[in-house]
């Protein structure tokens, strides 16, 4: 685990291009971003009393993060789909947590993993998956699916096929 604070991360300088960072610097930045506690990292758990295998999905259509190289904004759609056990997250705390990504330079592949880890650790669902759809960058669309991928199999809701 890399010990780094959001205050330290805010002092990082953007790089002109990926090739400007040596492997050690880039690795440090990614590990720091993955491990840092953001301002609103604490989700408030609410007791769940619904159906045994109910599937819950939170959809946030405009998650904004920072490119870890240029620090330019990246825009995502995030789907958090899970089967609750004892808790669900209170939505205001989930929203503030997701809004904190606007200050975090992290690649989209790592955003999906960080959200998955955070929600899994705090509400401990039976199953959980996070789908992150990245707006086009350089003519390329990127989707990242982390966790229990079968929660997105045969999806009939929002188009999420990857």
Q: Which of 4, 74, 153, 155 is catalytic?
A: 74
- β partners of residue 132: 78, 144
Q: Which of 35, 53, 67, 144 is catalytic?
A: 67
The question of whether 67 is a catalytic residue gets the answer yes
In 3D, which of 40, 44, 18, 45 has the Cα closest to residue 29? Answer: 18
The question of whether 74 is a catalytic residue gets the answer yes
Q: DSSP string spanning 84-128?
A: -SSEEE-HHHHHHHHHGGGG-B--HHHHHHHHHHHHHHHH--SEE
β-strand pairing of 87-89 with 127-137: unpaired
Q: Active-site residue numbers?
A: 67, 74
């Amino acid at each position: 685990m890399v010990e780094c604070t959001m205050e330290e991360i805010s002092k990082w300088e953007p790089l002109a291009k990926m090739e400007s960072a040596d492997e050690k610097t880039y690795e440090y930045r990614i590990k720091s971003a993955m491990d840092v506690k953001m301002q609103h990292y604490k989700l408030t758990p609410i007791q769940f009393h619904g159906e045994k295998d109910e599937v819950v999905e939170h959809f946030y259509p405009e998650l904004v993060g920072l490119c870890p190289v240029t620090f330019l904004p990246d825009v995502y759609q995030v789907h958090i789909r899970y089967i609750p056990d004892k808790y669900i997250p209170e939505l205001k705390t989930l929203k503030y947590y997701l809004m904190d990504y606007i200050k975090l330079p992290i690649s989209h592949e790592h955003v999906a993993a960080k959200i998955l880890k955070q929600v899994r650790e705090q509400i401990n669902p039976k199953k959980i998956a996070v789908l992150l759809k990245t707006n086009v960058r350089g003519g390329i669309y990127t989707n990242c699916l982390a966790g229990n991928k079968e929660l997105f199999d045969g999806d009939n809701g929002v188009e999420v096929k990857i």
